[in-house]
Amino acid sequence: MHSNKIRKKPTITLMAFSKKDVIRAGEALINDGLLDDPKLLDQTMEILTYWRDSHIMPLNSAHELLNRFIHRIDKKAFIAKRLKRFESIKRKLKRFDGMQLKNMQDIGGVRVVVSNLKQVDSIYKILANEYCFYNGSKFIKMDNYILHPKTDGYRSLHIVGKFNNESSDERKIEFQIRTKLQHSWATTLEIVDIFTGQNLKSDDGFYDYKKFFKDVSDQFQIIENLQGFISDNKAQLTKEYLTKVVQNQQLIRQCVSIKSFVDRGDGTITVEKQFSAYCTSLNDLNKGIVAKKYTEGLVLIRLNVQTGKIEDEFFKKSEQTLASQRYSQYEQLLSKDKKWIVALLSTNAIGGLKEAYPNYFADSEIFLSYIGLIKIAATLGSAQRIKQMYT
């Protein structure tokens, strides 16, 4: 057995690599034999670390752009930035034929979470006037998954911008703009992935879970377009939503399907209670990190999803490269041990991890509260159907 702790901090200085080197590293990453070739593995991880680190300055520039105006639109808006995990990079390279690492446009990502759809639209209109989002007269890449959700139900607005790094090389950064309700859906899906070992985020996994999340997304889309939701009037929202559902047989059936899924269980715990338990575990871990009151910098986190054990290590802002190297080492060390999750988080976001980092620490209180509303609609809708049968 090997320990999952690395005793000494590395002092390696990263060098620059060519785009051909980056392409080859991406190809090596999806090679099933990589872990059996220590020399190739070390070389690949070094190139991958260099490439990912070359997005740090562009990522910071993207964050600064948003900070200029975001809180005028929504005082409660939250911005979270992240560099894509190697495991996520690997999955994406495998999922898309012909995808090359050097062309991947979401190595660096900024997520913006706001209260409602109107605010998403306001942010988009401002960003659409920035030249950094264009190649000539066309967007570099823009996907409106709110108007046109993915087949799994995922909803968010994605737009890609280009920013320079220290070497004046352009790097692409993906902006994801979503509402709190859309975010709660993605949060819960990722938590379920972590605890059940599925890959729902890549539209894989058990059929019943996939159908559940797709159905919930459909209902959430209805909910957040109602006036009661927009004005944050819960009583009005409840009345509008229940009225809309009970008048539509298809919506009733969908709500009943959702209720049946979350109510099922082994007699001791329902799926809904399992979701709640997952969220509680991650929320407790989050509180432990927040209590340490880290100063500005980065925190490397290792989470054992089976035991709930969490290990963390703090790096000063000036140790950003060192933190990234350490992150790479742990990803390499734990790559065969699926019960461990590794994350490198900015301490600027630690206080808001519950809202901003669904991959590891967010709870799903919002998600579960609206599931409760959907269950009420299912009950009333079923009663309405029975009444119509006998009248």
User: Residue 173: pLDDT above 80?
Assistant: yes
Look at residue 355 in the predicted model and tell me its pLDDT. 36
R_g of the chain, CA atoms, integer Å: 22
User: Residue 236: pLDDT above 60?
Assistant: yes
Q: What is the pLDDT of residues 237-279, one digit of tens each?
A: 999 999 999 989 999 999 999 999 999 876 667 888 878 767 7
User: Residue 353: pLDDT above 90?
Assistant: no
Question: Residue 345's pLDDT band (boundaries 50, 70, 90)?
Answer: low
Question: Residue 2's pLDDT band (boundaries 50, 70, 90)?
Answer: very low
Provide the domain count of the chain.
1
CA angle 305, 308, 314 (to 5 degrees): 95
Nearest to 156 by CA among 73, 224, 92: 224
In a domain, 260, yes or no: yes
Nearest to 260 by CA among 96, 374, 364: 374
Question: Residue 314's pLDDT band (boundaries 50, 70, 90)?
Answer: confident
Alpha helices in the chain (DSSP H): 19-29, 38-53, 56-67, 70-73, 86-95, 117-127, 180-196, 207-223, 227-230, 234-246, 249-263, 271-290, 320-333, 353-356, 365-389
In a domain, 8, yes or no: no
Look at the block and give the residue holding tokens 């030249």: 131
Look at residue 361 in the predicted model and tell me its pLDDT. 43
In a domain, 12, yes or no: no
- DSSP category for residue 335: T
The parent domain of residue 96 ranges over 19-389
Nearest to 330 by CA among 349, 351, 350, 315: 315
Look at residue 297 in the predicted model and tell me its pLDDT. 75
In a domain, 3, yes or no: no
User: Residue 234: pLDDT above 90?
Assistant: yes
User: Residue 205: pLDDT above 80?
Assistant: no
CB-based contact 185:201 (threshold 8 Å):
no
Look at residue 78 in the predicted model and tell me its pLDDT. 85
Look at residue 347 in the predicted model and tell me its pLDDT. 58
Range list of β-strands (E), 67-156 = 78-83, 108-114, 134-135, 138-139, 142-144
358's tokens: 């669904």
| Least confident piece of the model among 25-39, 270-284, 340-354, 363-377 | 340-354
| Least confident piece of the model among 146-160, 238-252, 318-332, 337-351 | 337-351
Look at residue 381 in the predicted model and tell me its pLDDT. 87
| Mean pLDDT, rounded, for 28-57 | 89
User: Residue 119: pLDDT above 90?
Assistant: yes
Query: Looking at per-residue confidence, does 307 or 107 come out higher?
Result: 107
Report the predicted TM-score, pTM, of the whole model to 2 decimal places: 0.77
Nearest to 224 by CA among 373, 382, 379: 373
In a domain, 302, yes or no: yes
| Least confident piece of the model among 187-201, 207-221, 341-355 | 341-355
Calpha distance 331→340 (Å, rounded): 9
CB-based contact 106:84 (threshold 8 Å):
yes
DSSP string for residues in 21-58? HHHHHHHHHT-TTGGG-HHHHHHHHHHHHHHHHTTHHH
Ranked by mean pLDDT, which of 42-51, 269-278, 328-337, 352-361 comes out on top?
Answer: 42-51
Query: Looking at per-residue confidence, does 142 or 304 come out higher?
Result: 142
| Least confident piece of the model among 32-36, 200-204, 226-230 | 200-204
| Mean pLDDT, rounded, for 322-348 | 76
| Mean pLDDT, rounded, for 119-126 | 96
Nearest to 251 by CA among 117, 383, 374: 374
Look at residue 195 in the predicted model and tell me its pLDDT. 65
* Mean per-residue pLDDT of the chain: 83
Nearby residues of 350 by Cβ (< 8 Å), 6 or more positions away = 289, 290, 294, 299
CB-based contact 220:182 (threshold 8 Å):
yes
In a domain, 123, yes or no: yes
Look at residue 60 in the predicted model and tell me its pLDDT. 93
The CATH number linked to 37 is 3.30.460.10
17's tokens: 């690599």
Ranked by mean pLDDT, which of 94-108, 332-346, 374-388 comes out on top?
Answer: 94-108
